[in-house]
Structure 1
Amino acid sequence: MKNIHTLGERSLVGMLILMVGAPMVISVYYNIFPPAGAFLSGFLQAAMIYLPIAIAEYFTFVPILGPGGSYLAFVTGNLTNLKIPAAVVAMDQAGVKSGTEEGAVIAQISVAISSMVTIGVVFVGMLMVLPLQPLLSSPVLAPAFDNILPALFGALGAHFFSQHRKLAVVPLLSTVILAALVIYVLKLNFSSIQGVLIPILGVISVVSALYFYRIGWIKKEDIE
């Protein structure tokens, strides 16, 4: 476990240096720097959106992925739409639970394989982007591309809701109510504040599960 944290921390530091260092080297070499005011304005606007999402993802996804899978997933990215579904399905098929050593190993393997598959798909897509451009930009297929994530998580949600129906009641109702409140009452773009809603719904799910367990409505066999 100590070796995993050591390697993970070094990998994160190395990737951070590469991501920040590349534009810095280019700016220094060509003596081209963005205006400080414009840079700070753009940075703050992005931070207001992505910082809450990053914090929520850390507290939500690390217990699922374990240490090795978390380091690898946060370095390679695509957590919500690729790494988490891959890890969850892999653990379910292997019959292991998140938060265990077995679950951490399976999650790490699934994240690594999904990363390699992503690289292969991106490489093929790079070669085929021009021949497939008319098809990919077709207005007929636009609704399908816009609903890839809802379809993916809808399928995953239906699978786990059917296995843990009692646990799913409060989180599902809370999600529907919050979505209706945000969209129809507050008139906000739901995707723009999803990073704030993730920890809220996480707390609601945990508290409701503990309450139902204490009053005896949910038993140990319901969550295994």
Structure 2
Amino acid sequence: MAIKSKIAGSQYEDKIHKIGRTTGIIALILIFVVPALISIRYSIFPPISNLMIGMLTISMIQIPICIAEVLTYTPMLGSGGSYLAFVSGNLTNLKIPCAAMCMESAEVKPSSKEGDIISTISIAVSTLVTGTIIIIGVIAIVPLTPILSSPVIAPAFENILPALFGGLGAYWILKQWKLAVVPLSVTVIISMFVAVQPAVLIPICGAVSIGAARWMYKKGWVKEV
């Protein structure tokens, strides 16, 4: 029975990686094809030198961040969830919270077979919901523009992400508050003395969180959840 389970798990992983790599390559091609077709259709081509400088500048910032996100999020999301999340986007503000809460509700752990399946299903559903909302938003954007651009509700849009992660963070902090002390302290100290973008803090806080959690676990200050 155990051998059959291992074979089925191996086949599942192989199929996930095959589909994930294929869709990733297709998405990468489309990223370049769409602007290329628009440029050809309207005869608008940016100067090569300016294009290369812009791509190099962005790459210097985004490549380290992307590597850090893959190393940080993949163990949490699993193979299927990772492929879906990185292709569809909106990781930090949608996919990660959705997967984390679904695994918590299902009482499964990340980096497990059950967690991988729950993560994949939750991210797939959130992707479908996001796509549906985007379609509705595109259709309704013109009549809703006066309302959405109103200065009365502008502060609400500016605080959507802090509210989302505030609620999610409070839930996890209450479960293991000791684990939050070090990364929160490091984040506050860095933000006080260095003008840094939130995305840059991802690899820093990820490494600090893992190191601090491991040290506290060895000291016996925290237990496995």
Q: How far is the alpha carbon of 1:211 from its aligned partner?
A: 1.4
Amino acid at match of 2:46: P
Moved over 6 A (4+): none
Partner residue in 1 for 2:58: 46
Cα displacement string for residues 114-135 of structure 1 (whole angstroms, at most 9, x for unaligned residues): 0100111111111221221111
1:20 to 2:32 alignment: yes
Partner residue in 2 for 1:216: 220
Q: How far is the alpha carbon of 1:27 from its aligned partner?
A: 3.8
TM-score by length of 1: 0.89
User: In 1, distance between residues paired with 2:192 and 2:224?
Assistant: 29
Cα displacement string for residues 144-163 of structure 1 (whole angstroms, at most 9, x for unaligned residues): 10111111111111000000
Partner residue in 2 for 1:10: 22
SS across alignment from 1:97: coil
TM-score by length of 2: 0.88
Which residues of structure 2 form unaligned runs of 5+?
A: 1-12
User: In 2, distance between residues paired with 1:163 and 1:109?
Assistant: 25
1:142 to 131, 150, 154: 154
SS across alignment from 2:53: helix
Partner residue in 2 for 1:200: 204
Q: How far is the alpha carbon of 1:50 from its aligned partner?
A: 2.2
User: In 1, distance between residues paired with 2:94 and 2:182?
Assistant: 26
* Superposition pairs of residues 68-147 of structure 1, within 5 angstroms: 68-147=80-159
Higher deviation after alignment, 61-70 or 45-54: 45-54
SS across alignment from 1:84: helix
Higher deviation after alignment, 11-20 or 108-117: 11-20
Q: For the structure 1 residues 130 and 24, does the alpha-carbon distance in structure 2 shift closer, same or farther, using more than 3 Å as the test?
A: closer
Partner residue in 2 for 1:175: 187
Q: How far is the alpha carbon of 1:31 from its aligned partner?
A: 5.2
Q: CA contact under 8 A between 1:50 and 1:195: conserved in structure 2? A: no
Q: For the structure 1 residues 138 and 31, does the alpha-carbon distance in structure 2 shift closer, same or farther, using more than 3 Å as the test?
A: closer
Q: For the structure 1 residues 179 and 121, does the alpha-carbon distance in structure 2 shift closer, same or farther, using more than 3 Å as the test?
A: same
User: In 1, distance between residues paired with 2:182 and 2:61?
Assistant: 27
Which residues of structure 1 form unaligned runs of 5+?
A: 183-187
User: What RMSD in Å do the two structures reach over aligned CA positions?
Assistant: 1.6
Higher RCO (CA < 8 A, seq sep 6+): 1
Amino acid at match of 1:223: E
